[in-house]
Amino acid sequence: MKNRPFIGILVAKRSSRKKTLALYQRYHHLNLKLYTFTSEDILWKEQRIKGLSLEKGLTKQNSFPFPHVVYNRCFSKNLLTIQRLEKAIGKNKCFNSINFFNKWELYNLLKESDLKGYIPDTFSYPDADVSELLEKYRLIYIKPTYGVKGESVYRVKVMDHGDIHISMHSLAPRYICRKNENIQEKLASVLGHHNHYMVQEGIDMFPVNHQYFDIRSLVQKNILGEWEVSAITCRVAYKDYFNTSMCERIQDATELLPRLLSSELKNKVLQSLHEASVKAAQAAENHIGSLGELSVDFVLDTHKKLWIIELNGKPQKSIYNDLKSLIAKKKVYSRPLEYAFYLSQL
How far apart, in whole angstroms, are the C-alpha atoms of residue 95 and residue 343? 9
Digit-coded pLDDT (tens) for 262-299: 999 999 999 999 999 999 999 999 999 999 999 999 99
Q: Do strands 306-312 and 94-95 pair parallel, antiparallel, or not at all (unpaired)?
A: unpaired
Does residue 325 surpass a pLDDT of 90? Answer: no
Does residue 215 surpass a pLDDT of 70? Answer: yes
Q: Taking all residues of the chain, what is their mean pLDDT, rounded to a whole number?
A: 94
- Return the amino acid letter for 11: V
| 214: nearest Cα among 245, 239, 240 | 245
45 in Cβ contact with 66 (< 8 Å): no
214 in Cβ contact with 299 (< 8 Å): yes
26: left (phi over 0), alpha (psi -120 to 50) or beta: alpha
Confidence of residue 50 (pLDDT cuts 50, 70, 90): very high
CA 87 to chain centre: 27
- For residue 1, the model assigns a pLDDT of 45
Task: Please count the residues of the chain.
Answer: 346
Confidence of residue 3 (pLDDT cuts 50, 70, 90): confident
Mean pLDDT of all residues in 92-113: 94
Mean pLDDT of all residues in 246-272: 95
61 in Cβ contact with 22 (< 8 Å): no
Does residue 321 surpass a pLDDT of 90? Answer: no
Range 90-95, long-range pairs (CB < 8 A, 24+ positions): 92/289, 92/290, 92/343, 93/68, 93/69, 93/343, 93/344, 94/10, 94/69, 94/70, 94/290, 95/69, 95/70, 95/71, 95/290, 95/291, 95/292, 95/339, 95/340, 95/343
Digit-coded pLDDT (tens) for 301-314: 999 999 999 999 99
Mean pLDDT of all residues in 37-53: 97
Q: What is the 3-state secondary structure (H, E, C) of 95-156?
A: ECCCCCCCHHHHHHHHHCCCCHHHCCCEEEECCCCHHHHHHHHCEEEEEECCCCCCCCCEEE
